[in-house]
Amino acid sequence: MIETDKIVLAELASLLLKDGQLATAQENELKRLLEKYPDAKESLRYRLANTDIQVPFDLRNTDLDQEWEILKTKYNERKITPNYRWWNGQWKVRIGEAAALLLLFTFVWIWKSYVKPINYLIPDKVYGQKNDVLPGENGAILKIKGKDDINLMNKQVDQSLSQGIEFKNGELLYAQLKTKEYNPMHTLIVPKRSTIAITLSDGTRVWVNSESELIYNANFNEKERKVRLKGEAYFEVAKDAKRPFIVEANDLSIQAIGTAFDINSYTQNAKVLLTEGRLKVNGQEKEIFIDAGNGAKMIKNQLVAFPIPDMEEATAWKDGYFYFENKTMQQILDELSRWYGIKIDSNVSLDKIRYKGGIKRDVTLAEVCNLLKDLTGYQLTIDKEKLIVTNRPKKNK
């Protein structure tokens, strides 16, 4: 709160600056306030010596009557919000007591009924949430046909797997394959709360996002390099003009020789964003070529190419950032659900506004919520592994 006497000080100072003098009573009051707030002394001294003042914009362009009309319209159009005045006074105390008691009961109840704790839920002491959720980690499950599953979840140590497949620095490497003949189908499953980077046998690097699957052969054949994707992945394709690299994802088939691109197929219609080189995109009966800086997607059964406004949409996630630029609330929530392994509980209709901003993916959920609360008009409440989305009441400050 800005104290009222600071405002009196500013009023008197401006009067002195404007007219060059003050009535005695006013002068005494100003002296007293300057003793109380000595910081203002220098400011006043400077302004008395220099008559140039900072006018940030042309005052005459502002029509006060028009601004007043805008305000009235804004006020009337605003959604009806509940009246908070009854919160004043003793109601507040009563409700506070009741809430505290309820909280106590809830804690006892949770404590008693908590049979199977989830290890990524932690208490929150900073943001006032009921609990906090740790971010996802590096990891995946590798299925090789005819073999036992290999669990790579949260593995810290390097390890040689079968047939010269290696797990090194958190990445899966096929580059040193020992055999050409033994060539079963591999399925890399990346569950929620995980992500992994792999290097395929041809040297192509793939970053696979949460809740995704990549299916490929340990060795590619001589004609083509073909993989299948569910979910999202970013590819940096190793150059090999003789063997095109083909990704099949939902309704799209993408053919590359040596490029870098992101494919997102979480929804029915897959979307490819090309950051380097050139791509051939096949969608149903049509095929198109796109160049770096463009994307392609099926829209109403038509394969459509479009420019990408910002490349970071394609690369931010693999570099460890959430990127909210130009995304709707629904898209943001879906991303959170995949990375924090939480369920979204939303009974409000989400607006179609597109937001701006971003945050690192290695922070806890409560920190992200804290940012989103500022960024959007929603209240985000964490309740164990559930994220509850509600409209935020207009709060009086």
Partner 1 sequence: MLSIEYYFKTYFLQLCTFAFPWVNSEEIAKDIVQDAFIVLMDRPELLEKGERVIKSFLYTSVKNMAMNAKRRDMVFDKIRGSITVEESDNHNILDDLINAELIGALHRELNQLPEGCQRICRLIYLDGMKYEEVARELDVSVNTVKTQRVRAINLLKTKFLNLILNFLLL
Which residues contribute to the site for partner 1 (CB under 8 A)? 1-4, 6-11, 13-15, 17-20, 37, 39-40, 43-44, 47, 51, 53-57, 59-60, 62, 64-65, 67-68, 70-71, 74-75, 78, 81, 85, 321, 325, 356-360, 371, 374-375, 394, 396-397
d(CA 124, CA 364): 10
Quote the least distance from Cβ 354 to partner 1, whole Å. 14
> 132 or 367, CB closer to partner 1?
367
| Amino acid in position 102 | L
Token digits of residue 175: 């580059």
Quote the radius of gyration of the chain (alpha carbons, Å): 30
Quote the least distance from Cβ 350 to partner 1, whole Å. 19
Quote the least distance from Cβ 363 to partner 1, whole Å. 11
> 150 or 372, CB closer to partner 1?
372
Using alpha carbons, select from 153, 239, 143, 253 the residue that is nearest to residue 193: 153
Residue with structure tokens 């709060």?
395
> 5 or 158, CB closer to partner 1?
5
> 161 or 359, CB closer to partner 1?
359
> 175 or 375, CB closer to partner 1?
375
Token digits of residue 396: 């009086």
Quote the least distance from Cβ 382 to partner 1, whole Å. 20
Quote the least distance from Cβ 328 to partner 1, whole Å. 17
> 70 or 104, CB closer to partner 1?
70
DSSP result, 357-384 = -EEETTS-HHHHHHHHHHHSSEEEEEET
d(CA 196, CA 136): 11
Quote the least distance from Cβ 120 to partner 1, whole Å. 23
SS (H, E, C) 313-351: HHHCCCCCEEECCCECHHHHHHHHHHHHCCEEEECCCCC
d(CA 281, CA 283): 7
